[in-house]
Amino acid sequence: MPYYKAPLEDFRFLYNEFLDLSLCQDLPTMADATPDVIEAVISEGAKLCEEVLQPLNEVGDRIGCRFNEHDNSVTMPDGFGEAYRQFCEGGWSGLVADPDYGGQGLPSFVGLAMSEMKNAANASFAAYPGLTLGAYEVIHAYGSDEQKQTYLPKMVSGEWGGTMNLTEPQCGTDLGLIRSRAEPQDDGTYRISGTKIWISAGEHDMVDNIVHLVLARLPEAPSGTRGISLFIVPKFLVNADGSLGERNGVKCAGIEKKMGIKASSTCEMVYENATGYLIGEPNRGLAAMFTMMNAARLVTGIQGLGMASAAYQAAVTF
């Protein structure tokens, strides 16, 4: 039977003996990060990963996500929705997020410890809050005050999810070939049209709304990567009072059949005159998106570390 025990002793050695955290005490994120708080957070995080997330890993890969053609929705495997609810109610979705938007504001090294445990216990599950955190970081760094107030509190609470939409059928690593279009509208919004592929967490039933960050081209934009802009395109439009409005012009056209992490929905997303909102400066979208991409690179390394730890433990048990 699969087994995972979080490496708490390793974390304690790093935080209490190897690293001199006293040098960081003046940083805002360290204000409440006392040794007792750090110990309590990683210990409770370990329990969640060992007792809630890890038991779902097998069923996630055995059953996987289900795409429903009649309404273009994606249904998660049994147990994932309840686990996600526990995750959010425990405050884990806002562990390192800005307190101004409902987060706990803890230092990133605490968040990375939690990320390692999540990925070791259940990499499919870890993708969903991971993508949301990345989208949160982009909006937090580049969004207007109105955009931050509209989207960040719900993303920090875990009520809304987030994604990044880069790759298209004709371009993967060369994003200069992007064809998705953004047409300016008189009200300051944009109409987004195009197809994106391999979009992790693009559609699922664990959240009320999904905030897509989409790379697209404005009319007469420069060619190549210098002509790419970034847009917020929510699954559901948001009313002035913060409630959800009508469904936006974005849908999932299908999910990939993969060898692993089958409970992570990897989607083809189709945008058909969807309402989008420019984030950051025109034609500077790729630079803004690198905030999320660089975070994803770091977490990919942490993901490998977590999986190696889980594989080692499974081998020893066997």
Q: Which amino acid is at 301?
A: G
SS3 state of residue 275: strand
**Other CB atoms within 10 Å distance of the CB of residue 208:** 12
Token pair for residue 205?
């039933």
Rounded to whole angstroms, the Cα distance separating 269 from 179 reads 14
CB contact at 8 A, 280 and 142: yes
Per-residue pLDDT of the chain (318 residues; tens, 9 = 90+): 678 999 999 999 999 999 998 888 899 999 889 999 999 999 999 999 999 999 999 999 999 999 999 999 999 999 999 999 999 999 999 999 999 999 999 999 999 999 999 999 999 999 999 999 999 999 999 999 999 999 999 999 999 999 999 999 998 878 889 999 999 999 999 999 999 999 999 999 999 999 999 999 999 999 999 999 999 999 999 999 999 999 999 999 999 999 999 999 999 999 999 999 999 999 999 999 888 888 888 889 999 999 999 999 999 988
Q: Which amino acid is at 314?
A: A
Token pair for residue 5?
């025990």
For the chain, which domains are there? 1-318 (2.40.110.20)
CB contact at 8 A, 150 and 242: yes
SS3 state of residue 4: coil
- DSSP 8-state symbol, 26: T
- DSSP 8-state symbol, 312: H
- DSSP 8-state symbol, 261: -
